[in-house]
Amino acid sequence: MQFQQRRRILLRVISGYRTISYEAVFAISGFPPIGIFIVHNRDFKIATKTCIASNQDVCLPVSKMPHPSERSPINLVGYYENIEDNFPVECFTDGSKINSKVGLAFVVFQDHIETEVHQFRLRNECSVFQAELLCIAQAVNWIRTNENLSSNFLIYSDSLFSLYALNCIISPNRLIVKTQTNLNFLQGRGAQVFFSSVRCHIGIYGNERADWLANEATKLIDFIPMTVPKSFYKSFSRNMLFLNGITFIKFLIMRSPPKNFFLPFMDV
């Protein structure tokens, strides 16, 4: 009875004839059987809810989130030519994903001279957005430990999504919360941290340097713990769902009894 109901629904989807078999309807529509879909949907929810407490970007519970007054949004400034003349210390950040490997790096310039380079690597399942966001957070951490170098700092990023995410002072993301609390701490100490969005691959030396270092960071061995994004689980689950659906359809075809078709004999 359940097979008949599913078959009727899928026949409407593919606009097929009523004589099409149950197995052919699934194969043409591309929809897996409902039983396989339910199992994978359950596994997907379990995987996305399970996270390691040491992950940098785990979602904090409301009880552990600081008050919005203790979190400062970022100060965005537009990029213009010779902007570096107004900031003694600059940090160029970038994240990269090459050959399914994720790396990030930021490079520090003091008075137009490169002084420090920091590189990190994430798990292969992580996204470029996570790498960009973590790189900005690492740059802010570096500024907090070196706040005596200057009173004005400038952080460059070519990821607008990361900068917009840091502007939200109610986000439960631990990485965003930590970055905003660090910015609030620096502001209380008299140090101003500004952010600027730059376009990639337009000839800005600092940005090109950070991009190359991020590509090289994909070769590192050690990983920074980060939560595997839902997009990876969705892609992986979708592929497994498709493969299991094909296997199930093949099983149905092999299980069905053979049918003999007889053609009428005709005299030529």
Write the DSSP symbol of residue 83: G
9 lies in the same domain as 32 = yes
Domain count, the chain: 2
213 lies in the same domain as 235 = no
Is position 195 within any domain?
Answer: yes
Look at residue 140 and tell me whether its pLDDT is greater than 90. Answer: yes
CATH number where 190 lies: 3.30.420.10
Is position 105 within any domain?
Answer: yes
Q: Which single residue is written with the structure tokens 């700092």?
A: 153
Cβ-count burial of 110 within 10 angstroms (0-12 exposed, 13-18 middle, 19+ buried)? middle
89 lies in the same domain as 28 = no
Q: Among residues 234, 169, 166, which one has the least CA distance to residue 197?
A: 166
Average pLDDT over residues 145-170: 89
Q: Which domain holds residue 26?
A: 1-52+230-254
41 lies in the same domain as 17 = yes
Tokens representing 68? 């919005």
Average pLDDT over residues 173-179: 89
129 lies in the same domain as 181 = yes
Alpha helices in 50-197 (DSSP H): 128-145, 160-166, 174-188
198 lies in the same domain as 94 = yes
Is position 224 within any domain?
Answer: no
Give CA separation, 159 vs 20, 197, 262, in Å: 50, 7, 66
Question: What's residue 247's pLDDT?
Answer: 60
Tokens representing 195? 């952010």
3 lies in the same domain as 100 = no
Task: For residue range 33-88, list pLDDT tens digits in order.
Answer: 666 667 767 766 666 565 565 566 667 788 888 888 888 788 888 888 888 888 99
Is position 210 within any domain?
Answer: yes
Alpha helices in the chain (DSSP H): 2-14, 22-29, 34-49, 128-145, 160-166, 174-188, 205-217, 230-255
Statement: the pTM of the whole predicted model exceeds 0.75 = no
